[in-house]
Structure 1
């Protein structure tokens, strides 16, 4: 009986000692929290030991306790919650703006630097939101052009105060007396660092080469054969139709903008020629108001016969007229009469 009670007491003591020395495993890290340096250096986590956590880099404490406790070989629940750090909007600078990623201005976000027109970026093109704030320091500097070029026989009348004109700067030129300005009288510095045009030139008017005048000739010929209206044989065209040509000439004065456009020779002539064919109506004799090849031939033959008859009659009349007068001058009506009869006839004629 004595031995039994003693063994029971010893067993209870051993259980108590064993349970009092129970340890917890090393705490596990999850999410955006990490163990502190102090907790990382600990190797044993006995009963009642505490472990300390903190927010990861780039995160800030939102709420909850940073500590957990080892109880009966298990850790208590961690109540710490963290959120991303907000870098805020980058500091404003002249002629500089940003385009942000989906994260906006929170930790891990990026922003692209953009300069206004006429300005160029100096420094990084992107900025990153880190735990310490935005990285990089970009800036926008104004674009400049080379020193304005001088021109012969002319001067610069107006220019910006800087030695190297900035974007938008305008340089004005003028020519000396007796010279004419050829080209643009002013040039401007562009956003790419170049002038928008070449500087002008100053030349003596007498040295300006003559421009050859060009003659533009436009000829439009339209030929149209309109069939005549045939009412009878008188309207049949017997010969090729006539062609009427109409030529129109107009002088267009040139548009003068500068000395390059001064015409030194007669201006160009534009000639437009239009031709049209109008069939004439030629009338011939016909019959029964019929139209045909046979009627036309018959009318022509009849006209020829009538012409021959009339010509023969006229020739016969002329011959008779000549013979009559010739016979009268000789005083004899019959060339074969005897002399005595001729004498009587002459005597009778004298009486």
Structure 2
């Protein structure tokens, strides 16, 4: 009886010691928990008593509550308390004339959204966008047309419409509006008023003029008190002045030619009498 009790106590003691020094198996988690072991925990092969491993949320999920660690105690792992939830991408960026239609997931991870354009606009880019861990995929925008002209026109008694037919134009093809310039900054380009033909500056004429066409005078006098009669008179006077200048130049040219010819031939006006001059000319010819 004594031996029996002693053996029983020894067996209980050995079982307690063995169980206290036992290792834990590699931790396992259920897929629906949306958690995974960290890289450090995955690289371990042995998990002795007191070992601690860490978990993290899977891609697209974030921690909601609980601890990320479990501990090995008497060959068993403690209960994992980490709870992960889906990330929220939030509403896509607002764009003109563009709205989104979301599925049952709304804006959470894995959700999809369909891009819808207002009437008269067409979708450019992605028709559907997906909520990923990094945010919404793709880009969407709406481009449309604008009405150029009147919305309504009428046929008049003469059989013609009272306005041009309207057109639909792409807003990106429309030219930019001209910049409005203040009246105080506007530079006038109106030609100066000519009161007298003598005030008209004429270009200098060179000696080798080959054309006798009078200079053209452009006068903008309709808005400055000068009528067509004054303009015609100014033109005739200018033509007369041009003709006089040409005649003077021709006369001067002839004088220069005669002078040069006489100088080249030579002059024998030496002051002697005519008879002596004839003797000198005869001597020169001999």
Give TM-score, length-normalised by structure 2: 0.48
Counting helix residues as a fraction of each chain, which structure ranks higher? 2
Higher strand share: 1
TM-score (norm 1): 0.40
